């Protein structure tokens, strides 16, 4: 007999939870760094640089580490990517720089670029002056909407160029995805806030909290009051399953749950289902599945409508889930969630297959999985309503803000970057957008 | 059949079970170490240099290192002096060890002041130990030269000749003269040893060096209470220098029949084979043992023996000096020879190191094509001078190979080259 609606707190002891949520990839030791950095071949026109959205000169910073110039390595990283510390921790390096590493070819083991980057940034010598200086005040004032990775990178670059920046942030804390969306074990010890303190040290950046676009401030107002505006508001809506039972208690939005988890001071307090189903195939699906396991869920199953090979999450992420005891059910398309007012008991799926033309079709076969909680992790959507009705930037065919190669929107003084234009969910891409938009704004002003 | 039987050899009349001796240095300082070495399988030792009593005193902090990128030891130096134990203790131990290990070679290294009486006094006691020979330490570059010994003698050919002659006069044992590399032309001291009647030379001793400077204290390493001095450099990074010096003596008409015991950065069997091919009859090892312990003798013997068997060499002398006829002066090299690099695309990993090297520092002979996902490097054959730099920088063993090009032209040396204004007519 299954126990229906088994959702409770304190499934594990605090000590167990602390252990489960400790740093997933601990820092390299000095000796490991010596070995890892020596493996870098100092490639010419290195493929890893191409693979990094922020074009960090990876061979150069690794060489600097190897020669003992670790502070120089950190400066090299941060000058290309001011959030190089968090990127080192959260980037899916296995699909970016490390995938491009030439050491994969014969040795099937790339240089550990991400971990080396973390080593360097963590050792920026704070007894030396702040590594960036502001140019003389330009008298220009730029508004940035959203203190996420894109907005912070943009703000830092603009501040370096001598502009005044005000960031309008809807939440109570800055950091965006880094603060509210990244799995806890990837960014421990309140790293996001420490990193933002470092970003703001450049000076000339003010952050106003609790200022949501479309609620507390309007785009028109900001355009009137500033010389340029950068929008980096991410995606606020979550895709729906659109199946019966979705409204029942126990059906949760993964993004919202992770957000709560990231802000919870005592993780044992979080309600955790005994049997958890995660619908989705991306990084968020992996994150919520693994974190559910780490909180003490007995059975966690990721269900995906296509084959496992089509999953958006990298193999590395999938392995992480498997290692944490998460099950995968693939080729299963949600049809309904069963339950009552007190909660849910079962989720049903149709087995899918590919037809002759390669199109995914549902078969008659029904798969039924018992559950207490269902997490939806099937992607987020950009909501354009905060942009207002008149004089708003043009949207692209996916409904996101449309920009040109300079990250400029259809409004010449309004720029945008991060997930609200792209939606790849990558911190490092958001930083790249912020950097490039800042340079374009600087040139324009 | 005895293991590695093909390694048994004879050097200036001294029989050894293999050509590997431990050089005169800390590993051969006392009976305990030497017995451990013999147990491990070393063919012989050159006992750490004996001198007159009172024995010198060593400082604390004796070795300095030159590291590679990953803490691998490229070489290190030392500022140790000769044995810091009394002469009699050493002589007693040598006598006992030789008695217990009759099939192993013990050579006694010696360094006393450059006076006939000093040599005359020490030699009988050494001979009485039953040791197989003596090695004259004319090479030690640190400390001892300040006292008029070691390299201070080795740098003056007349002294070498004189002391060698004394040793031959007052002792019936074979005499090996150990040469210092800290001179301009190593053939001169070798000639002097030959004139003095030496049975053999051994080389190289260590090289004058400062391995590093501590940038915090501004003291050279190894630092002794904040001050440093030059020491003797050794290890695999000195091997190329040693090989060249060995070959110089082996090629030199005045010394070409002088037996050589090769020393200098020998770390594995291949190094040993190279020294032997360039003129050494046996080899002495020190640094590799100091880094890894005596157990490396197993690979030294095994590797060399197997290689010899594969090549059909029945004993060491079969390939000794085989590379000498191919070692010549620049002026005799074939100007019409041509080789160019070839990049094996299947083995290339696309690191572009060859391109950076050739484009920035050589002859711009590599073409870079393709896009970010598929970089391709190819040789521009017309531009390639066959310098080998790309092959050297390539991290993949088989990705770049140098290929001989048949120019169809006859051998033409600089001596006869039309561009040489002083050419000799054939």
All domains of chain A in start order, with CATH: 30-122 (1.10.1060.10), 141-236+382-444 (3.50.50.60), 238-379 (3.50.50.60)
Point out the least confidently predicted range of A162-166, A309-313, B233-237, B319-323: A309-313
- For A66, which of B69, B350, B375 is closest by C-beta distance? B69
Express each pLDDT in B358-392 by its tens digit. Answer: 999 999 999 999 987 789 999 999 999 999 999 99
Q: How far apart are CA B183 and CA B175, in angstroms?
A: 21
Compute the count of residue pairs across chains A and B with CB atoms less than 8 Å apart: 41
Could you give the CA distance from residue A298 to residue A273 in angstroms, rounded to a whole number?
8
pLDDT band at B330, cuts 50/70/90? very high
Q: Are B69 and A35 an interchain contact pair (Cβ–Cβ within 8 Å)? A: no
Q: Does B375 touch chain A (CB under 8 A)?
A: yes
Q: Do the Cβ atoms of A44 and B351 come within 8 Å? A: yes
So what's the pLDDT on residue B425? 78
- The larger pLDDT score, comparing residue A233 to residue B150, is at A233
Distances from the Cα of A277 to the Cαs of A17, A259, B113, B201, in angstroms? 21, 18, 88, 81
Distance CA A269, CA A261 (A): 10
- pLDDT of residue B85 exceeding 80, the answer is yes
Q: Check CB contact of A108 with chain B, cutoff 8 Å.
A: no
Cross-chain CB nearest to A43 (options B70, B71, B352): B352
Could you give the angle at which helices A149-160 and A427-444 cross, rounded to 10 degrees? Answer: 40
Can you give the pLDDT at residue A97?
97
Superfamily of domain B5-326: Aldolase class I (3.20.20.70)
pLDDT of residue A4: 58
- The chain A residue lying nearest B358, using CA atoms, is A44
Cβ density class A42-65: b for 16+ within 10 Å, e for less? bbbebbbbbbbbbebbbbbbbbbb
User: Rounded to whole angstroms, how far apart are CA atoms A113 and A119?
Assistant: 10
Q: Comparing B27-36, B89-98, B138-147, which segment has the lowest mean pLDDT? A: B138-147
Q: What integer pLDDT is reported at residue B145 of this predicted model? A: 74
Give residue A2's pLDDT.
Answer: 45
Residue A190, exposed/middle/buried by CB under 10 A (0-12, 13-18, 19+)?
Answer: exposed
Q: State whether B352 and A38 contact (CB < 8 Å).
A: no
Residue spans per domain, chain B: 5-326, 330-416
Q: What residue spans of A54-94 are helical by DSSP H?
A: 58-66, 70-80, 84-90
Identify the CATH number of the domain defined by range B330-416.
3.30.70.20
Q: Out of A37, A43, A47, whose CB is closest to B372?
A: A47
Tell me: pLDDT of B280 over 60.
Answer: yes
What is the rounded CA–CA span in Å between residue B230 and residue B228? 7
In DSSP notation, B304-333 reads HHHHHHHHT--SHHHHTTTTGGG---GGGS
pLDDT at B372: 76
Mean pLDDT computed over B126-149? 86
CB contact under 8 A, A106 and B349: yes
- Residue A47, chain B, CB below 8 Å: the answer is yes
B246 pLDDT band, cuts 50/70/90, is very high
* Per-residue pLDDT tens digits of chain A, which is 445 residues long: 345 578 888 888 889 999 999 998 899 999 999 999 999 999 999 999 999 999 999 999 999 999 999 999 999 999 999 999 999 999 999 999 999 999 999 899 999 999 999 999 999 999 999 999 999 999 999 999 999 999 999 999 999 999 999 999 999 999 999 999 999 999 999 999 999 999 999 999 999 999 999 999 999 999 999 999 999 999 988 889 999 999 999 999 999 999 999 999 889 999 999 999 999 999 999 999 999 999 999 999 999 999 999 999 999 999 999 999 999 999 999 999 999 888 999 999 999 999 999 899 999 999 999 999 999 999 888 999 999 988 899 999 999 999 999 999 999 999 999 999 976 789 999 999 999 999 999 999 9
> DSSP 3-state assignment of B100?
helix
Mutate to test the interface with B, among A102, A103, A109 (most CBs of B within 10 A): A102
Give the number of C-alpha atoms closer than 13 A to the C-alpha of residue B169, restricted to the C-beta side. Answer: 12
Active site residues of B: 140
Taking the C-alpha atoms of residue B353 and residue A8, their distance in angstroms, rounded to an integer, is: 58
Which positions in chain A touch B349 (Cβ < 8 Å)?
A: 102-103, 105-106
- Is residue B426 pLDDT above 80, yes or no? no
């Amino acid at each position: 007999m299954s126990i229906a609606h088994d959702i409770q707190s304190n499934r594990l002891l605090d000590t167990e939870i602390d252990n489960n949520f400790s740093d997933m990839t601990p820092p390299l030791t000095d000796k490991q760094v010596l070995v890892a950095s020596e493996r870098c071949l100092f490639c010419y026109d290195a493929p890893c640089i191409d693979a990094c959205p922020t074009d960090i000169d990876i061979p150069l910073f690794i060489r600097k580490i190897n020669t003992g110039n670790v502070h120089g390595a950190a400066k090299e990283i941060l000058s290309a990517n001011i959030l190089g510390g968090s990127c080192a921790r959260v980037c899916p390096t296995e699909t970016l720089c490390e995938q491009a590493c030439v050491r994969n070819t014969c040795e099937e083991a790339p240089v550990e670029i991400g971990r080396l980057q973390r080593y360097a940034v963590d050792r920026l010598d704070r007894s030396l002056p702040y590594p960036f200086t502001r140019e003389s005040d330009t008298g220009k004032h730029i508004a940035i909407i959203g203190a996420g990775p894109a907005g912070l990178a943009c703000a830092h670059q603009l501040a370096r160029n001598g502009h005044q920046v005000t960031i309008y942030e809807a939440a109570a804390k800055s950091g965006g995805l880094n603060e509210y969306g990244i799995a806890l074990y990837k960014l421990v010890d309140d790293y996001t806030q420490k990193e933002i303190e470092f970003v703001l040290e450049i000076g000339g950046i003010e952050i106003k909290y609790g200022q949501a676009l479309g609620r507390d401030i309007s785009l028109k107002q900001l355009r009137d009051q500033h010389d340029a505006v950068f929008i980096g508001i991410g995606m606020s809506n979550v895709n729906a399953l659109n199946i019966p039972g979705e409204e029942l208690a126990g059906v949760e939005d993964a993004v919202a749950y992770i957000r709560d988890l990231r802000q919870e001071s005592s993780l044992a307090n979080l309600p955790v289902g005994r049997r958890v189903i995660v619908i989705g195939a991306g990084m968020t699906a992996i994150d919520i599945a693994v974190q559910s396991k780490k909180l003490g869920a007995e059975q966690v199953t990721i269900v995906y409508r296509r084959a496992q090979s089509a999953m958006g999450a990298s193999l590395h992420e999938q392995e992480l889930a498997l290692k944490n005891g998460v099950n995968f059910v693939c080729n299963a398309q949600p049809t309904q969630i069963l339950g009552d007012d007190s909660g849910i008991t079962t989720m049903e799926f149709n087995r899918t297959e590919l037809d002759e033309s390669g199109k995914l079709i549902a078969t008659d076969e029904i798969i039924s999985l018992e559950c207490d909680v269902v997490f939806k992790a099937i992607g987020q959507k950009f909501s354009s309503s905060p942009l207002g009705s008149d004089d708003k930037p043009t949207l692209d065919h996916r409904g996101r803000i449309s920009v040109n190669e300079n990250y400029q929107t259809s409004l010449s003084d309004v720029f945008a970057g991060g997930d609200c234009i792209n939606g790849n969910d990558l911190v490092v891409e958001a930083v790249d957008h912020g950097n490039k938009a800042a340079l374009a704004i600087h040139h324009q002003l | 059949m005895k293991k590695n039987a093909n390694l048994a050899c004879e050097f200036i009349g001294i029989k050894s079970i293999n050509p590997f001796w431990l050089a005169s240095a800390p590993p051969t300082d006392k009976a305990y170490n030497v017995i451990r070495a013999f147990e491990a399988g070393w063919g012989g030792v050159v006992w750490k240099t004996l001198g007159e009593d009172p024995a010198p005193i060593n400082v604390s902090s004796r070795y300095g290192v030159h590291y590679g990128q990953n803490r691998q030891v490229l070489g290190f130096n030392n500022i140790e002096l000769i044995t810091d134990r009394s002469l009699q203790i050493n002589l007693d131990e040598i006598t006992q060890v030789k008695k217990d290990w009759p099939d192993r070679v013990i050579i006694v290294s010696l360094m006393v002041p450059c006076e006939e009486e000093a040599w005359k006094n020490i030699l009988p006691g050494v001979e009485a130990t039953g040791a197989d020979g003596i090695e004259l330490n004319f090479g030690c570059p640190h400390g001892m030269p300040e006292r008029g010994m070691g390299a201070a003698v080795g740098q003056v050919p007349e002294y070498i000749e004189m002391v060698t002659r004394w040793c031959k006069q007052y002792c019936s044992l074979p005499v090996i003269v150990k040469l210092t590399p800290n001179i301009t032309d190593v053939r001169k001291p070798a000639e002097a040893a030959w004139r003095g009647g030496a049975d053999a030379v051994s080389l190289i001793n260590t090289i004058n060096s400062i391995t590093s400077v501590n940038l915090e204290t501004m003291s050279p390493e190894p630092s002794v209470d904040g001050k440093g001095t030059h020491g003797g450099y050794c290890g695999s990074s000195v091997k190329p220098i040693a090989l060249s010096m060995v070959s110089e003596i082996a090629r030199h008409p005045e010394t070409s029949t002088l037996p050589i015991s090769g020393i200098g950065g020998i770390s594995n069997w291949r190094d040993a084979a190279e020294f032997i091919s360039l003129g050494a009859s046996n080899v002495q090892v020190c640094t590799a043992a100091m880094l890894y312990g005596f157990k490396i003798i197993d690979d030294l013997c095994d590797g060399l023996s197997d290689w010899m068997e594969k090549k059909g060499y029945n004993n060491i002398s079969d390939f000794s000096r085989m590379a000498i006829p191919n070692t010549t002066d620049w002026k005799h090299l074939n100007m019409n020879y041509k080789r160019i690099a070839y990049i094996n695309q299947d083995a290339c990993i696309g690191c572009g190191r060859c391109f950076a090297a050739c484009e920035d520092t050589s002859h711009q002979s590599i073409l870079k094509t393709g896009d970010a996902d598929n970089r391709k490097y190819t040789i521009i054959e017309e531009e390639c001078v066959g310098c080998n730099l790309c092959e050297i920088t390539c991290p993949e063993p088989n990705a770049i190979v140098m290929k001989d090009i048949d120019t169809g032209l006859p051998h033409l040396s600089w001596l006869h080259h039309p561009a040489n204004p002083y050419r000799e007519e054939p």
